[in-house]
Structure 1
Amino acid sequence: MKHRRIPLRRPAVVGAGIAALVAAGVTFQTANASEPAQAPTARTLSAPAAGKVASTLLKDLGSGTAGAYYDARARHLVVNVLDEDTARTVERAGAKARFVEHTLAELDGARTALAKGATIPGTSWATDPVTDKVVVTADSTVSGAGWAKLSKVVDGLGGKAELKRSRGKFKPFVAGGDAITGSGGRCSLGFNVVKGGQPYFLTAGHCTSAISTWSDSSGTVIGGNAQSEFPGNDFGLVKYTGSVDHPSAVDLYNGSAQQITKAGEATVGEKVTRSGSTTHVHSGTVTGLNATVNYSEGTVSGLIQTDVCAEPGDSGGSLFDGDTAIGLTSGGSGDCASGGETFFQPVTEALSATGTQLG
Structure 2
Amino acid sequence: MPKRKAAIAVGGVAALGAAALLLPHANASQDKGQAAGGTAKTLKAAQASGLAAQLQKALGDAFAGSYYDSGKQQLVVNVVSGDDNVIQQAKSAGAMVRQVKNSTRDLKAAATTLKTKATIPGTSWAVDPRTDKILVTADSTVTGAKWNRLQSTVQSLGSGMATLKKSAGTFKTFVSGGDAIFAQVQGGGVRCSLGFNVTASDGSPAFLTAGHCGVAAKDWSDSQNGQPIATVDQAKFPGNDFSLVKYNDPSTQAPSEVNAGNGQTVQITQAADATVGETVFRMGSTTGLHDGQVTGLDATVNFQSETNPGGVDTVNGLIQTNVCAEPGDSGGSLFTQDGSAVGLTSGGSGDCTSGGETFFQPVTAALQATGATLGNGAGDQSGAGDQSGSADPSASAGDQSGGSADPSASAGDPSGGGSDQSGSGSDQSGTGAGDDGSSLTSTR
Please give the TM-score of this superposition, normalised by the length of structure 2.
0.72
Aligned to 2:281: 273
Q: More strand per residue: 1 or 2?
A: 1
Deviates more, 1:121-130 or 1:210-219: 210-219
Q: What is the deviation of 1:129?
A: 0.1
Aligned to 1:144: 144
Q: What is the deviation of 1:56?
A: 1.5
User: Is the 1:3–1:192 contact (alpha carbons within 8 Å) kept by the matching residues of 2?
Assistant: no
Aligned to 1:26: none
Distance 2:118 2:236 in 1: 23
Aligned to 1:16: none
User: Is the 2:38–2:93 contact (alpha carbons within 8 Å) kept by the matching residues of 1?
Assistant: no
User: Is the 2:196–2:207 contact (alpha carbons within 8 Å) kept by the matching residues of 1?
Assistant: yes
Q: What is the deviation of 1:185?
A: 0.8
**Could you report, residue by residue, the CA deviation over 1:292-337 in whole angstroms, capped at 9, with x for unpaired residues?**
0001120000000000000000000000003100000000110001
Superposed, which structure 2 residues align to 1:118-129 within 5 Å?
A: 118-129=118-129
Aligned to 1:10: 14
Distance 1:258 1:125 in 2: 32
Instruction: Find the residue that maps to 2:53 and give its secondary structure.
Output: helix
Q: How many pairs were matched up? A: 332
Distance 1:154 1:181 in 2: 41
User: Is the 1:6–1:256 contact (alpha carbons within 8 Å) kept by the matching residues of 2?
Assistant: no
Aligned to 2:350: 334
**Could you report, residue by residue, the CA deviation over 1:173-206 in whole angstroms, capped at 9, with x for unpaired residues?**
111x711110121000001110222111000000
Aligned to 1:103: 103
Distance 2:56 2:43 in 1: 17
Aligned to 1:34: none
Aligned to 2:369: 353
Distance 2:138 2:8 in 1: 40
Distance 1:346 1:5 in 2: 21
1:264 aligns with 2:265: no
1:206 aligns with 2:207: no
Distance 2:166 2:6 in 1: 39
1:228 aligns with 2:235: yes
Aligned to 2:33: none
User: Is the 2:284–2:330 contact (alpha carbons within 8 Å) kept by the matching residues of 1?
Assistant: yes
User: Is the 2:210–2:331 contact (alpha carbons within 8 Å) kept by the matching residues of 1?
Assistant: yes
Aligned to 2:183: 182
**Could you report, residue by residue, the CA deviation over 1:72-95 in whole angstroms, capped at 9, with x for unpaired residues?**
000000000122322111111111
1:153 aligns with 2:153: yes
Q: What is the deviation of 1:39?
A: 7.6
Instruction: Find the residue that maps to 2:46 and give its secondary structure.
Output: helix
Instruction: Find the residue that maps to 1:42 and give its secondary structure.
Output: coil
Instruction: Find the residue that maps to 2:38 and give its secondary structure.
Output: coil
Aligned to 1:318: 333
Q: What is the deviation of 1:6?
A: 5.2
- Code of the residue aligned with 1:345 in structure 2: it is Q
Q: 1:6 to 1:346 in 2, by over 3 A?
A: closer
Aligned to 1:117: 117
Please give the TM-score of this superposition, normalised by the length of structure 1.
0.89
Q: What is the deviation of 1:11?
A: 8.7
Instruction: Find the residue that maps to 1:265 and give its secondary structure.
Output: coil
Aligned to 1:167: 168
Distance 1:300 1:39 in 2: 43
Q: What is the deviation of 1:118?
A: 0.4
Distance 1:339 1:67 in 2: 27
